[in-house]
Chain A
């Protein structure tokens, strides 16, 4: 059986004033049923573009240069628009970053949930089913929620409803793009707990895009670390957090405020900045910031496959 979601050699570019911005470069990933994949990286590394490309809803100006996005083995990018729409929501659903703006302000929660489901199968839009789904994401008194308007709910509640909406059609893939970034710490913890609870009852694949290392550590089975549009390292959560091989992953983990020694009085940073994505150097994109660079790093780095689902894009690593 094919994986619910697999991305193959995907490259996405943006047409900008200065030329062509390479946001996602030759990314290949796949997620299995019941597995949670985390996509980690700093701002501007292409992780949100990658998430948008997974449902082929890229912003204006973006263009897929090559590659494919296979949902249950079917390349979504090759389907006509109507068939793509049938897949969205049904086979692959998405939870967005900001729950405050993710709902239509003039429709009640019940109407919107019914509408999500009704787009595919009106029989699934019964109030009973909606209430059951709201209860599943931990909303108290779900029946009362159906008549509420989005502005009457708190951010945490809205994110729960957004997750309920995404799960309504029992998709094979759930993509969460920074699901906790817009929430305060308490709500963030609650949503993380909710997603962790869902892992046991949801048998599809989950992709979580975040820059929050804690979220990755709490929720994910496998992690893909992105830098300058590329996946620089991929592995299990244990491997990434305890035996990271790529210098960027190591530097990123060292910067997590949660692991910094409080007595040192300073927060470590990665010196330098992300390279200009419109004019990338021919070699390793991390070269200018890397403390372990070799002369060979001026050449394109090899993708070193260490095991199934464990790879590093670096000259330093030996197979």
Chain B
């Protein structure tokens, strides 16, 4: 038609990965997360010692060439325990947050787009779940089912899915009034198509960010419950167990608590940074935010 329209050239769309790499904080988060994931996946090959092999003669050793992070009260190599601990920490947190996220996503979409009565019923469930104090609920479930990894995952899923469901529901509610959803309906799209093709991609971005931000919370919760002997059972090398045992020998070997704290801090920071980096990148409409 008009030549003026022809002349408009728009910048090519940048990939999400490339945009994330350009953001220093997102990059730092990505590096840390990838490092912890590698540690978790490659634990059997990169851990220098067996994490539960006792060597009482070499107990409470400070960091040295043989034991980079020193040894604990039973002479177990701390570095190996931390590396294996990454497997437990990430395994539990990613599994439980993943399940909670998927559950929250589906329930939130159904509540937000479905009929009124279903919405009311689901909101009642979300509200009653989140009115339970987390630690006491965890203690109650653990008392009934006994401590262990499965119980831990169950507790985390039950405690955290309502917050995802609420987030998704609110967004779905505000989006279901959007013009393009009306346009879709005017073109004959049914509810399933609208929910999964049109609402889902619009609401999933904030949830990915929330999940990234929640993983460190769950890592801390797992460490905390393990510290209280309610999470992963010893001698499994959970970061919480290492801290708990290190705390008992704080006077003889203060390095244990310090060193076992480092991965917790770094993992928390890594996932938080990655979450914030993703927040800036994932939202296609947010691209303009950098110039304002």
Contacts and interface: CB of A to CB of B under 8 A. Distances in A.
Interface in A99-126: 101-107, 115-116, 119-120
A98 B188 contact: no
Contacts of B5: 140, 157
B66 interface: no
A87 B190 CA distance: 12
B180 A165 contact: no
Contacts of B188: 85-90, 119-120
A138 interface: yes
B185 to A, nearest CB: 6
B193 interface: yes
Interface string B4-27: 011010100100000000000000
Q: Which of B188, B189, B197 neighbours the largest number of chain A CB atoms within 10 Å of its CB?
A: B188
A146 to B, nearest CB: 13
B115 interface: no
Contacts of A147: 13
Interface string B115-148: 0000000000000000000000000000000000
A105 B175 CA distance: 11
**Interface residue tally of chain A, by bracket?**
35 or more
Interface string A69-103: 00000000000001001111110011010100111
A96 B1 contact: no
Contact of B285 (A88, A138, A151, A190): A151
B198 interface: yes
Interface string A146-185: 0111011010010000100110000000000000000000
**Interface residue tally of chain B, by bracket?**
20 to 34
Q: Which of B2, B6, B186, B202 neighbours the largest number of chain A CB atoms within 10 Å of its CB?
A: B186
B183 A148 contact: no
B6 A140 contact: yes
B1 A115 contact: no
A10 B214 CA distance: 53
B285 A105 contact: yes
B interface secondary structure, majority? helix
Contact of A103 (B180, B185, B201): B180
B183 A140 contact: no
A89 B187 contact: yes
A201 to B, nearest CB: 16
Interface in B183-207: 183-190, 193, 197-198, 201-202, 205
B186 A57 contact: yes
Given A98-B179, A148-B10, A105 B284 contact: yes
A101 B8 CA distance: 21
Nearest to A168: B187
Contact of B187 (A116, A154, A157): A116
A85 B189 contact: yes
B186 A101 contact: no
B42 interface: no
Nearest to A86: B188
B178 interface: yes
A151 B180 CA distance: 13
Given A88-B186, A119-B193, A140 B284 contact: no
A7 interface: no
B190 A151 contact: no
A132 to B, nearest CB: 16
Q: Which of B183, B198, B202 neighbours the largest number of chain A CB atoms within 10 Å of its CB?
A: B183
Interface of B: 1-2, 5-6, 8, 10, 13, 178-180, 182-190, 193, 197-198, 201-202, 205, 284-285
25 contacts: A85-B185, A86-B188, A88-B186, A88-B187, A93-B187, A96-B179, A96-B182, A96-B186, A98-B179, A101-B180, A102-B179, A102-B180, A104-B184, A104-B202, A105-B285, A106-B202, A107-B198, A119-B189, A119-B190, A138-B1, A140-B5, A147-B13, A154-B8, A162-B183, A165-B183
Given A89-B189, A103-B180, 19 more contacts: A57-B186, A85-B185, A85-B189, A88-B186, A89-B186, A93-B186, A93-B187, A96-B186, A98-B179, A101-B180, A102-B183, A103-B183, A105-B285, A115-B184, A115-B197, A116-B184, A119-B189, A149-B13, A162-B183
